[in-house]
């Protein structure tokens, strides 16, 4: 889904470029014995020429190499930040704008999100300018990058003088530091920090309270982790209230487990509903017509979560819980909460939006607008196509809808020229020297009609890729991002079994909405005696 294209001068051989060549050679050397199509066997493996003791020595040496590489990355990141800030200053940027987009470039180079790139840059600057003993230990592979991060994190609230003193006290003896585990390092750093500046700990606690938040992350088996970072009094208060409610309902005969009651009570109190299973929210479930109507096993897609089983998606649409009545509140007589109140759940409203995709790529058919801002319908369209931030290796939720080619440079407000980005990536893209273009296709007619010229780099074959964007950083490195395949997208050279006919005709749509105008799209669907349900639905949608 993501590709990296090096800058034009990547292979020049100055002093720094020679170092890059050495790093590349090490990667090739370490990967030389790996054969992707062969299973590991004793015969012909490295164990044939090395004893067990030598294998352990190699593991330790490689671990030290990882630490040394992390230290080298820190020095390079700090030097890159200083260079970029100097160039931005000479370009006339205001002081508060210096460094804009630097962390995102580091993140792209390290195949990380923009958020992680910012943390890595902060770590690099602290190690190279404020914590020389920790940097030395990392450079010689005595500690890992994570343990260096722990030391930087636990001293972040201190002044420069106190921080260097803690660095010398904890990391001055490299041999002792090497023998410490994560908890021991944290404990020693905290103890030294509290002793040198007790007030800093109070200020740190106040700052931490201002950074409270709630997040939602995917979990296995169509579940999610809802996490709240709260001040200790509030967090304990919430948990205690949920615990008391669970104890009360269990004592009254509720058959659900304690954890289930606490989870259901949390949902009910936050949403204000009487039943955790009747939450009225829009989740943008994306599924094929075959999955919804014909019992196909093609997984559905929940934007921001990922693929979900087909049967689970159908159950969600039909509002048929497979967990049985045990998750409802049971009285001592065995009646559910709804039965005791003399009623049942009201049927939730379900809306179906038809999204048409090109049969060869699975890409959604384009939509256009003359407005500067993306209309709601077009915004939903782009969000369904991109599912998450389109910047390579980011994956954060979409917060901004971005014109790939800026509107002030003639970029249209269209699906082809739009992409979903998180806030950090969108702001980084606006820094000087960044540019992005939609990548041209093998047949450029559709893009020409939409007002988009060919982007940089090689064209994309419509038979193997969907909506594609090339993002080029100020250093000339290009990163390619392709929208993830939607449910029902066939692999190249294959056809999905049991697919319903396309419900569209060439004369029904403008030319620029046809991904592949020749050959013409399918004729009106014919009734099939073997699938009356499909035929009925096809006729209904065709009439609409």
Distance CA 450, CA 323 (A): 48
Distance of CA 78 to the CA centre of its chain: 26
Q: What is the DSSP letter of 435?
A: E
Distance CA 200, CA 80 (A): 31
* Kind plus residue range of the DSSP H or E element containing 150: helix 145-154
Distance CA 210, CA 200 (A): 15
pLDDT at 219: 85
Asked if residue 55 lies in contact with residue 101, where contact means CB atoms within 8 angstroms, the answer is no
Range from 14-28, 152-166, 219-233, 297-311 that averages highest in pLDDT: 152-166
Distance CA 123, CA 148 (A): 8
Q: What is the CA radius of gyration of the chain?
A: 29
pLDDT at 139: 95
pLDDT at 538: 41
pLDDT tens digits, one per residue of 465-497: 678 999 999 999 999 999 887 776 665 555 555
pLDDT tens digits, one per residue of 362-381: 666 555 555 567 888 888 88
pLDDT tens digits, one per residue of 264-304: 999 989 988 776 666 555 666 777 777 777 788 888 877 76
Q: Which of 36-50, 63-77, 443-457 has the weakest average pLDDT?
A: 443-457
Phi and psi, residue 126, nearest 5°:
-70, -40
Phi and psi, residue 150, nearest 5°:
-60, -45
Q: Is the pLDDT of residue 64 over 90?
A: yes
pLDDT at 280: 58
Q: How far is CA 341 from CA 45, 250, 273, 335, in A?
A: 69, 19, 14, 10
Sign of the C-alpha dihedral computed for residues 185, 188, 192 and 193 taken in this order:
positive
Phi and psi, residue 297, nearest 5°:
-95, 5
User: Tokens for 307?
Assistant: 């693929």
Q: Which of 176-190, 351-365, 376-390, 396-410 has the weakest average pLDDT?
A: 351-365
Q: What is the DSSP letter of 462?
A: T
pLDDT at 149: 96
Please name which of 285, 283, 317 lies closest in space to residue 299, comparing C-alpha atoms.
285
pLDDT at 192: 92
Q: How far is CA 43 from CA 47, 48, 121, 332, in A?
A: 8, 7, 44, 66
Rounded average pLDDT over 74-89:
95
pLDDT at 239: 92
* Residue predicted with more confidence, 447 or 126: 126
* Kind plus residue range of the DSSP H or E element containing 245: helix 232-251
Phi and psi, residue 14, nearest 5°:
-85, -175
Distance CA 116, CA 305 (A): 20
Give the number of residues written for the chain.
Answer: 544
Which residues, in sequence order, are CB contacts of 39 under 8 Å at separation 6+?
none
């Amino acid at each position: 889904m993501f590709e990296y294209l090096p800058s034009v001068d990547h292979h020049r051989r100055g002093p720094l470029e020679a170092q890059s060549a050495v790093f590349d050679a090490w990667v090739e050397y370490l990967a030389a014995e790996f054969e992707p199509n062969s299973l590991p066997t004793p015969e012909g493996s490295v164990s044939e020429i090395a004893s067990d003791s030598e294998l352990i020595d190699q593991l330790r040496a490689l671990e030290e190499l990882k630490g040394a590489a992390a230290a080298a990355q820190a020095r390079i990141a700090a030097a890159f930040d200083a260079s970029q800030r100097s160039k931005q200053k000479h370009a006339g940027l205001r002081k508060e704008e210096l460094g804009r987009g630097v962390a995102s470039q580091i993140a792209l180079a390290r195949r990380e999100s923009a958020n992680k790139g910012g943390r890595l840059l902060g770590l690099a600057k602290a190690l190279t300018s404020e914590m020389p003993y920790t940097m030395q230990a990392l450079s010689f592979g005595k500690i890992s990058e994570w343990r260096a991060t722990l030391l930087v994190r636990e001293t972040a609230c201190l002044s420069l003088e106190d921080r260097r003193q803690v660095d010398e006290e904890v990391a001055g003896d490299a041999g002792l530091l090497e023998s410490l585990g994560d908890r021991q390092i944290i404990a020693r750093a905290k103890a030294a920090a509290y002793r040198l500046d007790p007030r800093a700990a109070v200020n740190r606690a106040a700052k931490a309270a201002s950074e409270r938040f709630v997040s939602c992350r995917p979990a296995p088996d169509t579940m999610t982790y809802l996490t709240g970072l709260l001040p200790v009094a509030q967090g304990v208060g919430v948990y205690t209230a949920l615990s008391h409610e669970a104890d009360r309902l269990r004592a009254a005969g509720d058959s659900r487990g304690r954890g289930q009651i606490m989870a259901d009570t949390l949902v009910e109190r936050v949403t204000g509903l009487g039943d955790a299973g009747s939450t009225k929210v829009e989740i943008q479930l994306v599924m094929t017509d075959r999955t919804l109507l014909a019992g196909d096993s093609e997984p559905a897609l929940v934007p921001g979560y990922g693929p979900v089983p087909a049967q689970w998606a159908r159950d969600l649409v039909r509002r048929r819980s497979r967990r049985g009545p045990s998750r409802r509140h049971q009285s001592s007589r065995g009646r559910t909460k709804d039965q005791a109140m003399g009623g049942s759940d009201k049927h939730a409203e379900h809306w179906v939006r038809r999204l048409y995709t090109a049969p060869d790529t699975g890409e959604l058919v384009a939509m256009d607008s003359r407005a500067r801002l993306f209309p709601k319908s077009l915004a939903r369209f782009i969000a369904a196509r991109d599912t998450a931030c389109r910047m390579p290796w980011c994956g954060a939720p979409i917060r901004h809808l971005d014109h790939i080619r800026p509107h002030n440079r003639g970029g249209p407000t269209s699906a082809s020229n739009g992409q979903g980005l998180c806030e950090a990536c969108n702001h980084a893209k606006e820094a000087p020297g960044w540019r992005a273009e939609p990548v041209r296709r093998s047949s450029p007619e559709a893009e020409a009609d939409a007002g988009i010229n060919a982007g940089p780099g090689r064209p994309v074959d419509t038979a193997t890729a969907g909506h594609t964007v090339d993002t080029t950083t100020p250093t000339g490195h290009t990163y390619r991002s392709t929208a993830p395949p939607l449910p029902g997208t066939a692999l190249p050279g294959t056809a999905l079994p049991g697919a319903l006919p396309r419900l569209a005709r060439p004369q029904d749509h403008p030319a620029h909405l046809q991904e592949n105008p020749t050959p013409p799209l399918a004729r009106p669907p014919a009734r099939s005696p073997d699938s009356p349900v499909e035929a009925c639905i096809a006729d209904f949608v065709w009439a609409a």
